Structure 1
């Protein structure tokens, strides 16, 4: 469903690259690769699911979740 957008947002990622996702209400999720804008996804369902990978209570990396949430 979101494959084309994800392919655009995350080009050929190499070791040391930085990927940034920023959620802004009414704007969507903006993605940057090494500080360069790559994509914008205006889909609230996508935003929720994407950020839940790291921030959701069912994250596969609970220690990272706690660190990201400042706990």
Structure 2
């Protein structure tokens, strides 16, 4: 599983990082620094799903 992000949609709410700051890092301005295709470590799939769901503008998604 991987996490992908649509940069243009991120509004720096930071709710994803509130779920897991290591899996959903933020840049210096508070925007998501996930990038495209961040691998989700084994055992963190549920946390990844919660972080993606926390995004109020749906800028994040998981892919297989």
Question: What TM-score bracket applies, with the shorter chain setting the length?
Answer: 0.3 to 0.5
> What is the TM-score normalised by the length of structure 1?
0.31
Between structure 1 and structure 2, the one with the greater Rg is 1
More helix by share: 1
**TM-score where L is the length of structure 2:** 0.33
**Higher strand fraction: Structure 1 or Structure 2?**
1
